[in-house]
Structure 1
Amino acid sequence: MNFELTEERQMLQDTLRRYLREKYTTAVRNDILTSDAGLSADIWAELAELGVLGALFTEEMGGFGGAGFDLAVVFEELGRAGVVEPVLDSALMGGRLLAAAGKSDMVEQVIAGTLHLAVAHGEPGGRYDMDYVHTKADGGVLTGRKAVVMNAEAADHLIVSARDGDAIALYLVAKDAKGVDIQGYPLLAGGRAGEVTFDNTPAEPLGLSLSDLQAATNLALVAISAEALGAMESATHLTKDYLMTRTQFGRPIGTFQALAHRMADLLIELEQARSAVINAAGYLEAPDADLHLSATKNLIGRIGRLVAEESIQMHGGIAMTQEYELAHIAKRIVMADHRFGDTDYHLERFIALSAA
């Protein structure tokens, strides 16, 4: 089979990689990490101008991509550069949910980079259970609490899941609507999230159900897996360079057999991870997509932890300093496992789906 990128995807990858290499330095990222917003408005606008946000949507939605491999190309590059802007949550998940609801005018604003969104679904105690929703909807008014809502403070609107009777539906809420309270905080992997409470908050029904949210989550699983892959590539590249630069006993430490073998193992595991992401992207629209996505997420989580730990150990103390690139990259690799289900969750899910 031919796994080479199409000409359009190759151009997108080259353009995004060049832009991030020139603009998204460690110093720039560290400034963003310490900012109150948790993102750079300039970077976001430039990503929109480059067409990166448009690549997350199909032509029917106003974009020019939207397929699994389009997502993989974009998020692999974002992960490689350690980008903390909430492209996954605001543009991909939020934007695609609005597209499913027929909000084409708002989708245009998302693609243009002028509208920020947050998806508020998880609740305290819910962990990874998609059905765990205690927020109530009564006549278009929401009451409840959501936990770890990515980009909550910077969002213009929140897409909120709530129970209306026995059914779970999605609602659109303006951030400045009555009864909305957001308590924000920085995240270990970069960016910001918030604990959000709703107290008799007016909301607009989107006509979407839990199945639509699951479809958006499947997109996110491909994206987070590709992002982790890009971060792993950066970690192994940094480690390889360090091993061939750092000298001991008059020779690069990378020439010592023990370290050379450990590095070789990392490179083999990295190729396994790449194959898993290709598989997930290819099966995104298939009837058995859930099975392949869980297999991929489980493998990415296990390999990611290995790459992060080995990269830090082979670097030594320098890998733990914020000024060094690897420190942030390793955090992102490890924390990616805890989004949308960790290794244990997806192993159990894969077994259950295989037995069904």
Structure 2
Amino acid sequence: MDFSIGEDRQMLVDSLSRYFADKADWKVREAAIASEAGFDRDVWNGMAELGVLGALFGEDAGGFGGSPFDIGVVFKEAGRALSTGPFLATLMAGKVLEAAGDADTLEGVISGEKILTFANDPAVSADGRPVDATTAAKSGDGWALTGQKGVVDYLGSADLIVVTAEMDGSTASFLVERGASGASTRDYPLIDGGSAGELTLSNTPAKLISDDAGAIDAAIAAGLVATSWEAVGVMEVLRDSTLDYLKTRKQFGIPIGKFQALQHRMATLALEIEQAWSAAINAAAYFDKDTATRDRYCSAAKFSIGQVGRLAAEEAIQMHGGIGMTWELPLSHYAKRMTMLGHVLGDDDLHLSRFIELSKAA
């Protein structure tokens, strides 16, 4: 099987890699995660000018890509650079708009003029239980939403919010402008960098995007592909950083990489990362098949990166020793991000169960 990404995508990867190296180095990231927004807006606008955001969407929506592999290569490079910003929220919310043919709204998002986020998960009460679902009701010629959404990526910076809500017994998607009447937010930083927030809606005016629940499912599936590829990028940095450390850190007068036990552990890790990489490629390759097949391969990839990602983070920290946990060492930040990626859009336990059920029905 040919695992190459093609010449055009390789050019995108090279351009994005150079951009991150030139404009989003570690000092820029540290300043970004310490800011209220949790990301650097200038860096985000630069990526928009470079065409990175346009790569996430098809030509009909004003982009120039939009395939699962286009999405994958962008997110893998973002993972390698550990860049913060509303990548995932822009992708999933944008895919909902793209499916509805709303190119006008997407135009401002792709250009970087507007920040878009995706409010899909319900907020959680103090005892850890989801609150009541968000509901939509007719209000004059439009709609009004009532409910709460939790952990909405970069909510404090968002100009537009795609919100999912129950409507006539099914799930529909709506567009809400930040600052709309009845909408309130509570923002907070995330442990792995970036920011999120809690969204509360009380009879908030909203524009109906689509009553097609399948479009929401497809957007989430695209998010799973993106998350899997990003995780592989993070794992590769963890692996390479650890290999470099094993070659330079000496004990008893020789590099610790000469110790056979550590060599075996690194060989096992390298093989596991290749397995996770194959699973991520499969998620992209089977994305355009039927819904059940798409979801089965997406869950397989998410399960794989959850399992292997945890191994990669643990091994990297253990082989570095105490220094691996320090704030000053970038590796510790990669380990945090890898741990969080294992839980984004469902952890490995959830996706293992989902994969089993989908396989039974196949």
TM-score under structure 1 normalisation? Answer: 0.96
Is the 1:161–1:170 contact (alpha carbons within 8 Å) kept by the matching residues of 2? yes
Is the 2:131–2:148 contact (alpha carbons within 8 Å) kept by the matching residues of 1? no
Counterparts of residues 139-178 of structure 1 (less than 5 Å): 139=138, 140-178=143-181
Q: Which amino acid aligns with 1:137?
A: A
Deviations 1:290-320, CA, capped at 9 Å, x for gaps: 1111111101100000000000000011111
Is the 2:119–2:164 contact (alpha carbons within 8 Å) kept by the matching residues of 1? yes
Q: Provide the residue aligned with 2:4 in structure 1.
A: 4
Offset at residue 209 of structure 1 (A):
2.9
Q: Provide the residue aligned with 1:35 in structure 2.
A: 35
Is the 1:133–1:168 contact (alpha carbons within 8 Å) kept by the matching residues of 2? no
Q: Provide the residue aligned with 1:299 in structure 2.
A: 304
Q: Provide the residue aligned with 1:273 in structure 2.
A: 276
CA distance in 2, matches of 1:177, 1:300: 38
Q: Which is further off, 208-217 or 190-199?
A: 208-217
Is the 1:26–1:323 contact (alpha carbons within 8 Å) kept by the matching residues of 2? no
Q: Identity over aligned residues, as a percent?
A: 49
Is the 1:136–1:144 contact (alpha carbons within 8 Å) kept by the matching residues of 2? yes
Aligned partner of residue 149 in structure 1, secondary structure: strand
Deviations 1:101-147, CA, capped at 9 Å, x for gaps: 22211111111111111111111359xxxx99611211111111111
Aligned partner of residue 123 in structure 1, secondary structure: coil
Q: Provide the residue aligned with 1:89 in structure 2.
A: 89
Alignment partner for residue 316 of structure 1, among 318, 321, 325? Answer: 321
Q: Provide the residue aligned with 1:19 in structure 2.
A: 19
Offset at residue 4 of structure 1 (A):
1.3
Alignment partner for residue 345 of structure 1, among 350, 353, 362? Answer: 350
Q: Provide the residue aligned with 2:100 in structure 1.
A: 101
Matched, 1:67 2:67: yes
Offset at residue 270 of structure 1 (A):
1.2
- Name which structure has the greater RCO, CA cutoff 8 Å, separation 6+: 1
Q: Provide the residue aligned with 1:111 in structure 2.
A: 110
Structure-2 change in CA distance of 1:98 and 1:28 (3 Å): same
Offset at residue 43 of structure 1 (A):
0.5
Q: Provide the residue aligned with 1:55 in structure 2.
A: 55
Q: Provide the residue aligned with 1:215 in structure 2.
A: 218
CA distance in 1, matches of 2:56, 2:302: 20
Q: Which amino acid aligns with 2:107?
A: E
Offset at residue 253 of structure 1 (A):
0.8
Offset at residue 22 of structure 1 (A):
2.7
Q: Provide the residue aligned with 1:254 in structure 2.
A: 257
Q: Provide the residue aligned with 2:337 in structure 1.
A: 332
Matched, 1:187 2:186: no
Q: Which amino acid aligns with 1:284?
A: F
Q: Which amino acid aligns with 1:121?
A: N
CA distance in 1, matches of 2:145, 2:63: 32
Is the 1:32–1:40 contact (alpha carbons within 8 Å) kept by the matching residues of 2? yes
CA distance in 1, matches of 2:105, 2:224: 24
Q: Provide the residue aligned with 1:199 in structure 2.
A: 202
Number of equivalent positions: 351
CA distance in 2, matches of 1:269, 1:162: 39
Q: Which amino acid aligns with 2:65?
A: G
Q: Provide the residue aligned with 1:123 in structure 2.
A: 122
Deviations 1:49-98, CA, capped at 9 Å, x for gaps: 111111111122221111111111111110011111111112x1122211
Offset at residue 191 of structure 1 (A):
0.9
Aligned partner of residue 307 in structure 2, secondary structure: helix
Is the 2:61–2:106 contact (alpha carbons within 8 Å) kept by the matching residues of 1? yes
Structure-2 change in CA distance of 1:148 and 1:229 (3 Å): same
Is the 2:123–2:131 contact (alpha carbons within 8 Å) kept by the matching residues of 1? no
Offset at residue 208 of structure 1 (A):
3.4
Offset at residue 46 of structure 1 (A):
0.8
CA distance in 2, matches of 1:170, 1:144: 14
- The root-mean-square deviation of aligned C-alpha atoms, in Å, is 1.5
Aligned partner of residue 147 in structure 1, secondary structure: strand
Gaps of 5+ in 2: none
Deviations 1:244-272, CA, capped at 9 Å, x for gaps: 11111111111111111111111111111
Q: Provide the residue aligned with 2:232 in structure 1.
A: 229
TM-score under structure 2 normalisation? Answer: 0.94
